[in-house]
């Protein structure tokens, strides 16, 4: 896959370039928020209702996200470039997996996922360093740099998903 297509998928069809073009030289560009909104829209149209197909979709998005995040190259060579938003898509899909496809739940998953993705609880923060002590050849062979980019978002999605299930169980949703 060429770097053009890797960038296409990594940036959510180049959507993450929009806030970085508007808010130059800002640490938090808003690309993650926009990427999560894109995931919200993609979820509406592409997430199947059947649990088996949902599991295959979420797993497929996570695996593609790991591969793309590992292989894409930007000029600045940052490991977790803010332009990469495919990890937000994987995280949001994880946050909504197996939940009822209701608007309130989708919005709550969006809010909780953004909170956990941006605040980075200590064990989520540690996930960003997944496999970083291994030799570069091993990291490259198993896409571990990409896994480190995606894993924190997937963990934020899992936490969000579990909280929503608890709220459903308690009849608060």
Which residue carries 């993609």 as its tokens? 42
The total of other beta-carbon atoms located within 10 Å of residue 110's CB is 20
Q: What pLDDT is attached to residue 16?
A: 86
pLDDT for 128-164, tens place per residue?
777 777 788 877 778 888 898 999 999 999 999 999 9
pLDDT for 10-68, tens place per residue?
999 989 888 766 666 555 678 899 999 999 999 999 999 999 999 999 999 999 999 99
Output the average pLDDT for the chain. Answer: 89
pLDDT for 65-103, tens place per residue?
999 999 998 887 666 788 899 999 999 999 999 999 999
Write down the pTM of the prediction: 0.91
Cα–Cα nearest to 47, from 109, 5, 4: 109
The total of other beta-carbon atoms located within 10 Å of residue 104's CB is 10
Contact 112, 164 (CB under 8 A): yes
């Amino acid at each position: 896959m060429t770097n053009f297509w890797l960038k296409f998928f990594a940036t959510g069809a180049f959507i993450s370039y929009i806030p970085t073009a508007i808010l130059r030289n800002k640490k938090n560009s808003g690309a993650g928020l926009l990427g999560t909104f894109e995931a919200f829209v993609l979820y509406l149209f592409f997430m199947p209702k059947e649990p088996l197909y949902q599991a295959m979709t979420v797993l497929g998005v996570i695996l593609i996200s790991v591969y793309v995040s590992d292989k894409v190259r930007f000029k600045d060579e940052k490991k977790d470039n803010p332009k990469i938003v495919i990890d937000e898509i994987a995280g949001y899909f994880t946050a909504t997996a197996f939940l009822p496809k209701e608007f309130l739940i989708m919005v709550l998953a969006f809010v909780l996922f953004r909170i956990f993705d941006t605040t980075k609880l200590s064990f989520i923060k540690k996930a960003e360093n997944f496999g970083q002590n291994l030799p570069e050849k091993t990291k490259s062979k198993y896409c571990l740099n990409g896994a480190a980019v995606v894993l924190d978002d997937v963990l934020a999605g899992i936490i969000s998903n579990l909280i929503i299930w608890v709220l459903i169980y308690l009849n608060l949703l």
